[in-house]
Amino acid sequence: MRKSNPKPVNISLRIAIVMAFMLCCFVVIVVQAFKIQVQGADFYLSQGEKRHVREVEIPVSRGAIYDRNNEPLALSTPMVSVGVVPGKLLDQFSKVEQLAEVLDLNADELKQIITSRKDRKFLYIKRRITPSLAESVKALNMKGVEFRTEFKRFYPAGETLANVVGFTDVEDVGQEGLERTYDNWLTGQSGKKTVVKDLLGQVVADIDVDELEPAKPGKDLHLSIDRRLQYAAYLELKKAVYLHQATSGSAVVLDVKTGEILAMVNQPSFNPNGSREISDGLRNRSVADIYEPGSVMKPFAVVAALESAEYTPQSVVNTSPGEYEIDGFVIHDFRDYGELSLVDILVKSSNIGVAKLVLGLGKEHLWDVYHRFGFGQASGSGFVGESAGYLPHHERWRTADHAALSRGYNLSVTTLQLATAYSVFANKGRLRPPTFIKGNINEDKAIIDPMIARQLTDMLAHVVNDNEGHKAFIPNYSVAGKTGTARVAENGGYSDKYISSFVGFSPVSAPRLVVAVSINDPKGEDYYGGLVAAPVFSEIMKTGLRLLNVPADQINRTLVDNEKDLNSDTGVTDAG
């Protein structure tokens, strides 16, 4: 058989075919690349911007504040804030004008901000707007306008608790009151997550991965304040300040058993949900304002006398002839009371009586008593901005200063300090620092003998009960307390203005509440503590005893409403 020879392979042809195929592919790729990079650049760029993976902050709510009965006092609600990426708006000034119109902003100023801050990545232009307004802005479909969730603080109790709770600034940081005191407790920690955003900066999808940083909400705060009692006390104080055309006023209610502050009210106040212009209304006067208190300090001078063992409640001091000169200064009583027991010295509010008591004692002893009761020191409440008051050291006292301190001059106190000090008598001689936090009870300590505390309680009960028609009287409840009417120091001397006060507790048989009231510069003839502050005390105390269901201890006692002279306990001698 004869073998056939194979046809020779045309290598050149095959190479040409392969080269032609590769050339076609290259042409196709080049054409497609040209379409993508040149002709479709805007399309693909916009699509990339519309679907951009970014890290965003997870906003977190500030902790809420509640009263002791879980009634809300401060709450945060989510709101929409509008911001811009300035660099993306430089070629959209025609729309910037529309944006300014919708947000009620000045268009020229907004353009100036965008131009001058074009390198900024984000800039807020309107924060915490209403949902309807946010929808109007979104309808503009503007590139470079973004929306972020923020929280806005609301205060349901309004002005009744404004000075105590305080408020936050635009960054939700506590600025005044308990919002500032407990800012670290209330402030949460924002988290981070990965999302997909569109061209308008709106989140279109969350990426299904674990959060980069988990959010930690702020912790809630439960106050000792009783909103019901707070409201009642606020109305009574506001009514009294208006009635007497006073400059300001404060009132504090303490629970004797726990030291919890159940109410703290001030005038003037402000609306924390509205404008917060800097004014006197922002200040919590109960803890920040100091003043010379007058005769409400006399019980502490009597404590010093009883501790010396030289006096008993029945010891007699001669106050005749109603005038007493010390280092060229003359002290006056309302009238010549003659010989007075220590009980009657408080009932009559005798300036001469307490002056003679303390001048027979050492200066250091009286200073020590005042210091033990907390005067010249912060109360321990922890409130930011609380004043310690002023108690000069006994080494600097002249004889006249020694006597003046016995009747509440030459030292300064706050209304909270007075309430805390009087709670010692009601708490069997034990001082417990006050607290704003429910259940956060501070440890108490014995500062005077329980027998002396009982003796002072009985004496202070006589102050109210021995004066028929006393304005601090409460039907069916026994009351112990003391008035004060002190001249206001101005320009190196004493003016014709007064601080009118009353501090007391009830019921005497088992004290539950202490109420301190001070009213600054009441106008007119009624400026005495017994006529201005005592009625406020009575109304606040009645409400407090009712709300706490405290049993009455003097059933069927009749209030004698007459026009008899209220003696010096109305505050007449306190002004001397």
Q: Where are the domains of the chain?
A: 55-75+151-222, 227-271+283-575
Q: And the tokens for 38? A: 């040149």
Q: How many CB atoms lie within 10 A of CB 533?
A: 34
DSSP string, 553-572: SSTTPPP-------GGGGST
The domain 227-271+283-575 belongs to what CATH superfamily?
Answer: DD-peptidase/beta-lactamase superfamily (3.40.710.10)
Q: And the tokens for 328? A: 């060229």
Per-residue pLDDT band for 130 (boundaries 50, 70, 90) equals confident
| Phi, psi dihedrals of residue 320, rounded to the nearest 5° | -65, 150
Q: What is the pLDDT of residue 416?
A: 98
Q: Rounded CA gap, 472 and 357, in Å?
A: 27
Q: Rounded CA gap, 240 and 250, in Å?
A: 11
Instruction: Kindly list the catalytic residues.
Output: 295
Element (H, E) at 238: helix 227-243
Nearest to residue 407, comparing CAs of 476, 493, 491, 348?
A: 348
Largest CA distance in the chain: 167
Per-residue pLDDT band for 208 (boundaries 50, 70, 90) equals low
Nearest to residue 423, comparing CAs of 457, 375, 378, 451?
A: 457
pTM for this entry: 0.82
Q: Rounded CA gap, 548 and 551, in Å?
A: 9
Nearest to residue 181, comparing CAs of 383, 437, 433, 379?
A: 383
> Residue 495: is its pLDDT beyond 80?
yes
Residue bearing the bigger pLDDT, 424 or 198: 424
Per-residue pLDDT band for 386 (boundaries 50, 70, 90) equals very high
Residue pair 478/507 in contact by the 8 Å Cβ criterion: yes
What single letter denotes the amino acid at residue 318?
A: N
Q: Which region holds residue 71: left if phi is over 0, alpha if psi is between -120 and 50, else beta?
A: beta
DSSP state for residue 435 in the 8-state scheme: B
Element (H, E) at 286: helix 285-288
CA 274 to chain CA centroid, nearest Å:
16
Per-residue pLDDT band for 263 (boundaries 50, 70, 90) equals very high
In this prediction, residues 34-57 reach a mean pLDDT of 59
pLDDT digits (tens, 9 = 90+) for 68-79: 999 999 999 888
Q: What is the pLDDT of residue 183?
A: 95
Mean pLDDT lowest among 17-21, 102-106, 447-451, 458-462: 17-21
> Residue 319: is its pLDDT beyond 50?
yes
Residue for token pair 């379409």: 35
In this prediction, residues 503-526 reach a mean pLDDT of 95
Q: Rounded CA gap, 528 and 505, in Å?
A: 20
Nearest to residue 447, comparing CAs of 424, 415, 470?
A: 424
Q: What is the pLDDT of residue 203?
A: 58
Residue bearing the bigger pLDDT, 544 or 88: 544
Q: How far is CA 151 from CA 75, 148, 170, 385, 477, in A?
A: 9, 10, 10, 26, 47
Q: What is the pLDDT of residue 154?
A: 93
In this prediction, residues 206-213 reach a mean pLDDT of 60
Q: Rounded CA gap, 349 and 358, in Å?
A: 15
Nearest to residue 559, comparing CAs of 464, 457, 456?
A: 464
Element (H, E) at 109: helix 107-116
Per-residue pLDDT band for 569 (boundaries 50, 70, 90) equals very low
Mean pLDDT lowest among 37-51, 189-203, 213-227: 37-51
Q: What is the pLDDT of residue 442?
A: 96
In this prediction, residues 282-303 reach a mean pLDDT of 96
Per-residue pLDDT band for 459 (boundaries 50, 70, 90) equals very high
CA atoms within 13 Å, Cβ hemisphere of 313: 15
Share of the chain above pLDDT 70, in %: 85
Residue pair 550/514 in contact by the 8 Å Cβ criterion: no
> Residue 388: is its pLDDT beyond 90?
yes
Q: Which of 158-172, 414-428, 518-532 has the highest mean pLDDT?
A: 414-428
Residue bearing the bigger pLDDT, 169 or 434: 434
Residue pair 523/477 in contact by the 8 Å Cβ criterion: no
DSSP state for residue 87 in the 8-state scheme: G
Q: Rounded CA gap, 251 and 272, in Å?
A: 20
DSSP state for residue 371 in the 8-state scheme: H
User: Which CATH code fits 55-75+151-222?
Assistant: 3.90.1310.10
Q: Rounded CA gap, 36 and 307, in Å?
A: 98
Per-residue pLDDT band for 36 (boundaries 50, 70, 90) equals low
Mean pLDDT lowest among 298-307, 312-321, 460-469: 460-469
Mean pLDDT score across all residues of the chain: 86
Q: What is the pLDDT of residue 576?
A: 39
Residue pair 300/370 in contact by the 8 Å Cβ criterion: yes
| Phi, psi dihedrals of residue 409, rounded to the nearest 5° | -115, 165
Q: At CA 146, angle to CA 141 and CA 150, rounded to 5?
A: 135
> Residue 196: is its pLDDT beyond 70?
no
Q: What is the pLDDT of residue 55?
A: 65
In this prediction, residues 493-509 reach a mean pLDDT of 94
Residue for token pair 């479909």: 141
